[in-house]
Amino acid sequence: MPLPPLETLFRREVLAMSAYHVADASNYIKLDAMENPYSWPDDIQQAWLQHLKTCPLNRYPDPEAKVLADALRRSNAIPETSAILLGNGSDEIIQILLMALPNTAAVLAPEPGFVMYKQIALSLGLRYRGVPLAAESFDLDLPAMLAAIEAEKPAVIFLAYPNNPTGNLFDPAAIEAILAAAPGLVVVDEAYAPFADASFIERLAQYDNLLVMRTVSKLGLAGLRLGFMAGPPALLEQLNKVRLPYNINCLTQATAGFALEHPQFLLEQTRLIREQRGVVMQALQAIDAVKAYPSAANFILFRTLTKPAGAVFAGLKQQGVLIKNLSAQGGLLENCLRATIGKPEENQAFLQALKAALA
Ligand SMILES: *Cc1c(COP(=O)(O)O)cnc(C)c1O
């Protein structure tokens, strides 16, 4: 039998999508993906390897990852009245949540925002509505959000806090207004919590439709793939049925558990990254040819004012520095680039290369 036409095999939305593209970063100073640039101290690494020996690889992992879930609860101060759901990265949690929705449901998020909300919604055949942020401040356009909520009656609204790729924290009063107006669920995605001094975790007890999502990726464990969501037990009980039983593998459970028992070195790395964020921000503000936007995350968004961002991005790459070019997305991101905060020497190399690329 010849292969049937793809149009008859797959959903229209899937055929129209492009796969999530990740640039090849080998041999570059890698400042494109919000990773923690630091590795583990030698003594910690040795202790971790010893700890990994306890993983029974011939057995399925604990399907509920109970020990790890309890450790995450404690370290993130999740209220006792909230339940917690673990995912293979928070990306998987977005997918689990959207898979449980009726196929007529709508998903809403401000834009520019985290691209996986739209990508996963469309891949599942759901309706997706993006609502533009306010120009330049990148804050929520509350009247536009409320109008879109009224029009679309979204089953789920995603709000990244701080937002990716803009780096800012939305006005918490606007988020509260959205929580009050939403007919469905509101996910506050706190992927960058380690770099911000604000959170909705304390408000979990206050709202029946609030879910807070976090990940260990940006903290320094991106290779593990571990995220979690906290929220009302009645909601997470349903989502837990959609989750594949062994989604958190044994090595991830053991490693994340170990890291949470040794929080000091990760906290110190986070402190260094936050300190460097200030250094890079000051340096960018001193360059007239760019405009840098305030950030509560481990990256800085900036706009090129004198040259097309594509040319500046290429110039950086030519000098061995890889950041993220967001300009192709157009709209509010025209001529915008995003640089992850790295080690001090990486940041200096980036700034030097940027000045050369702008010249
Ligand atoms: C990076 C990122 C995620 C994805 O986190 P993983 O746990 O690595 O899947 C989720 N939300 C936002 C806003 C992010 O920037």
Q: How far apart are alpha carbons 333 and 165 in whole angstroms? A: 9
The domain boundary residue, chosen from 236, 261, 286: 261
In short, whether 163's Cβ falls inside 6 Å of ligand 1 is no
pLDDT for 248 beyond 90 = yes
Residue 51 belongs to some domain of the structure = no
Count other Cβ atoms within 10 Å, centred on residue 62.
14
Q: How far apart are alpha carbons 305 and 12 in whole angstroms? A: 39
pLDDT for the residue numbered 20: 80
Query: Would you give the end-to-end CA distance of the chain in angstroms?
Result: 60
Express each pLDDT in 280-301 by its tens digit.
Answer: 999 999 999 999 999 999 999 9
The percent of residues in the chain predicted with pLDDT above 70, rounded, is: 100
pLDDT for the residue numbered 13: 86
218 touches 192 (CB < 8 A): yes
207 and 302 inside one domain: no
Domain that holds residue 179: 57-261
65 and 12 inside one domain: no
CATH code assigned at 201:
3.40.640.10
77 and 105 inside one domain: yes
Mean pLDDT of the chain: 96
Select from 227, 209, 238, 210 the least CA-distant residue to 93: 227
Q: How far apart are alpha carbons 302 and 358 in whole angstroms? A: 13
Residue 98 belongs to some domain of the structure = yes
In 3-state terms, what secondary structure has residue 339? Answer: strand
Q: How far apart are alpha carbons 218 and 229 in whole angstroms? A: 15
In 3-state terms, what secondary structure has residue 299? Answer: strand
Distance 114 CA to ligand 1 centre (A): 8
In short, whether 220's Cβ falls inside 6 Å of ligand 1 is no
Residue 223 belongs to some domain of the structure = yes
Q: Which of 158, 215, 216 to mutate to test the pocket of ligand 1 (most atoms within 8 A of CB)?
A: 215
Distance 276 CA to ligand 1 centre (A): 21
Cβ neighbours of residue 91 under 8 Å, at least 6 residues apart?
A: 116, 120, 227
pLDDT for the residue numbered 345: 98
Q: What angle do CA 160, 163, 169 make, to 5 degrees?
A: 100
Residue 46 belongs to some domain of the structure = no
82 and 139 inside one domain: yes
- Which of the 8 DSSP states describes residue 143? H
Q: How far apart are alpha carbons 213 and 189 in whole angstroms? A: 5
pLDDT for the residue numbered 25: 83
282 and 164 inside one domain: no
Q: Where are the alpha helices (DSSP H) in 153-249?
A: 172-181, 233-242
pTM of the model: 0.96
Question: How many residues can be counted in the chain?
Answer: 359
Count how many domains the chain has.
Answer: 2
Residue 156 belongs to some domain of the structure = yes
Residue 33 belongs to some domain of the structure = yes
- Higher model confidence: residue 192 or residue 17? 192
Lowest average pLDDT, out of 12-21, 181-190, 310-319, goes to 12-21
135 and 229 inside one domain: yes
Residue 168 belongs to some domain of the structure = yes
209 and 275 inside one domain: no
Number of the ligand 1 atom closest to the C-alpha atom of 226: 7
